[in-house]
Amino acid sequence: MPLEIERKFLVGSFEPPATAVRQHIEQGYIAIKDDGTEVRLRRIGGGRVLGVKRGKGEGPAVRVEVERELGEEEFTELWPATAGARLAKDRYTFDAAGVTVHLDVYQGGLAGLRTAEVEFDSTAEAEGFTPPDWFGTEITGVTAYKNQTLATRGLPGE
Amino acid sequence: MPLEIERKFLVGSFEPPATAVRQHIEQGYIAIKDDGTEVRLRRIGGGRVLGVKRGKGEGPAVRVEVERELGEEEFTELWPATAGARLAKDRYTFDAAGVTVHLDVYQGGLAGLRTAEVEFDSTAEAEGFTPPDWFGTEITGVTAYKNQTLATRGLPGE
């Protein structure tokens, strides 16, 4: 069962290494529930994914995640259901500080925001992680910086 | 792209033929949106399905539907997200009046309700269909009898 255990940080000016893999991501939310459950459509690289995440109540950083590939027509037909809850970003993936980092550079109305996300295999590993210098404020579990919040309300304080 | 074109009717006392295929269905809704979009988990027979339906605005009986099989653990982990929006029914499937009929016999708080559902390949075919004698009031597109409404509000008038 895929569990998602991650920590997330703001990032200032940082250039991803030349070896980073860059993927363009467009995602929209079909549903966002009060308990944190979300149903998401994501276009990433050449793929299209339907995903459902549910908070497990064991902490903000642990969630159950189920994902399935969609066909182009399926994706296109469902996409209108995400109106008003979308965002776009470029994701740079690379190894740093002994872990794999996803550096997300947001676009459109969220331009200027950059975050770094690190996924772990266990909560112990997550807690033992020492962020590198170029990681800024930790925003793990901070509602205002959840992608579902950014997609519907924009940048915090705007 | 799977389109769902169907008509639905109330049914009084009717015994399904002995040849009918009987399946027990338990379903719950992860999300039900104002525009009719729904995200559903369904356990049917030995299968487990995640489904997303979106109304296409071409009429109440035409919807886009995307379904994917889930593993038992995936289903079990997501099921709590359907709390307060569940129903159970037995579905009898058989041929009658020149079409395939799904006769749903609802259970639990919905006991006493029976509906017959017929799916068509086109709206022309749907409009040309003559319901047999034992079909009662047509409830195609009637909000109170939608499964998403029954699952959250119970029987109409209660």
**HSE of A49, CA atoms in CB hemisphere, 13 A:** 17
Contacts of A81 in chain B (CB under 8 A): 33, 35, 37, 52, 54
Question: In Å, how far are B20, B46, B140, B142 from B100, measured between CA atoms?
Answer: 10, 21, 16, 21
The per-residue pLDDT for B26 is: 98
For the domain B3-153, what is the CATH code? Answer: 2.40.320.10
Is residue A50's pLDDT more than 60? yes
Annotated catalytic, A145? no
Is residue A85's pLDDT more than 90? yes
The per-residue pLDDT for A60 is: 46
For the question of whether the overall pTM of this predicted structure is more than 0.90, the answer is no
For residue A14, what pLDDT band results from cuts at 50, 70 and 90?
Answer: confident
The per-residue pLDDT for B60 is: 46
Ramachandran class of B59: left when φ > 0, alpha when ψ lies in -120 to 50, beta otherwise: left
User: Rounded to whole angstroms, how far apart are CA atoms B59 and A152?
Assistant: 29
Structure tokens at B110: 């919905």
Domain boundaries, chain B: 3-153
Q: Which residues pair with A49 in a beta bridge?
A: A42, A69
Is residue A132's pLDDT more than 60? yes
**Helix H or strand E segment including A124:** helix A123-128
Enumerate residues 6+ apart whose C-beta is below 8 A from B154: B109, B110
Q: For chain A, give the percent of residues with pLDDT over 70.
A: 93
Q: Calculate mean pLDDT across residues A56-83.
A: 84
The per-residue pLDDT for B57 is: 53
What's the DSSP call for residue B101? E
Give yes or no for a contact between B140 and B120, defined as CB atoms under 8 angstroms apart.
no
Residue pointed to by tokens 């071409």? B58
User: Rounded to whole angstroms, how far apart are CA atoms B17 and A64?
Assistant: 43
Q: Calculate mean pLDDT across residues A9-29.
A: 94
Mean pLDDT of all residues in chain A? 91
Q: Is this complex's ipTM strictly greater than 0.90?
A: no
Residue pointed to by tokens 């997501």? B78
The per-residue pLDDT for B137 is: 97
Q: Is B141 exposed, middle or buried (0-12, 13-18, 19+ CB in 10 A)?
A: middle
Q: Which residues pair with A22 in a beta bridge?
A: A92
Contacts of B65 in chain A (CB under 8 A): none
Enumerate residues 6+ apart whose C-beta is below 8 A from B1: A73, A74, A77, B64
Please, what are the averages of pLDDT over each run of 10 residues along chain B (158 residues)? Answer: 83 91 97 91 95 70 84 95 97 93 97 96 92 95 93 90
Is residue A70's pLDDT more than 80? yes
Query: Rounded to a whole number, what is the distance in Å from the CA of B60 to chain A's nearest CA?
Result: 16
The per-residue pLDDT for A61 is: 53
User: Rounded to whole angstroms, how far apart are CA atoms A134 and A19?
Assistant: 18
The per-residue pLDDT for A34 is: 85
What's the DSSP call for residue A64? E
Q: Which residues of B lie inside 8 Å of A (Cβ-Cβ)?
A: 1, 30-31, 33, 35, 37, 39, 50, 52, 54, 56, 64, 66, 68, 70, 73-74, 77-78, 80-81
